[in-house]
Amino acid sequence: MADYPTSPFRLYNYCTSRMTPIQSKKWLVPAAVFVALLAPTLALFAIIRTDAETRTQFDFERRTTQMTSLIKGRMDIYTNLVYAERAFFVASNVIEEEKWLDYVQMLNLPLNYYGVSAMSYIARVPRSEVAQYPYPIFPTSTKDVYYPLTHTASMVPVVASGHGFDVSSEENRWRALQEARDTGLPAGGLAPVAATTKLPTFLVFAPLYRDG
């Protein structure tokens, strides 16, 4: 039994060596056509692949730009809201819980500020004034100054029950609070909704100084 070559090129040489010159020339035609067609096909494939990669990159950049714009727009809304909240407290000589709740209700948070779950006022309470503070401050600790939630209007029950929670007791809240205090600008960060849950929320703080 004859052994036939397995390599395409050797097979080609094996076949053409057994052909007449005319048969050999006829064999070259399909091979030449194949090679001629293969080159444009490969070039077209390269063009299509490059175009697909370009389109993918363009689509990714477009979507990234859209998402960045949406996030920035939402953050601008939240920032304006904390400025409005600060203006309310600056204009109020005496802060009353009932008036504060009425003010937040007029804002209609679910409709006009979708995603906002609560608005709060955080008091600065020196240790010497803890006894006069209207709510028990928690968690219990010994420090020179506490920053408890004092006035809260919330769409989330667990936050509404957080009067007296010392914001400085939680690392991310305290970091954002200090940044707002030191820069005079709104600052934010991620933190649990309340001390009793690990559900995350995004917080924005705006400083309020004694002189307004």
pLDDT in tens, 13-52: 545 455 445 444 444 444 444 445 555 555 666 677 777 7
pLDDT at position 9 is 45
pLDDT > 70 in the chain, percent: 70
pLDDT at position 36 is 52
Neighbour count for residue 39 (Cβ, 10 Å): 10
Task: Please check the confidence at residue 76 and state whether its pLDDT lies above 50.
Answer: yes
Residue 4 is classified by DSSP as P
Angle, helices 8-16/21-91, rounded to nearest 10 degrees: 160
pLDDT at position 156 is 63
CA 188 to CA 179: how far, in whole Å?
Answer: 9
CA 113 to CA 56: how far, in whole Å?
Answer: 34
Three-class SS of residue 165? strand
pLDDT at position 73 is 80
CA 144 to CA 57: how far, in whole Å?
Answer: 54
Q: What does 83-125 look like in DSSP terms, one character per residue?
A: HHHHHHHHH-SS--HHHHHHHHHHH-HHHHSTT--EEEEE--E
CA 82 to CA 99: how far, in whole Å?
Answer: 17
Q: Are 103 and 88 in contact, with CB atoms under 8 Å apart?
A: yes
Nearest to 113 by CA among 137, 140, 78, 82: 78
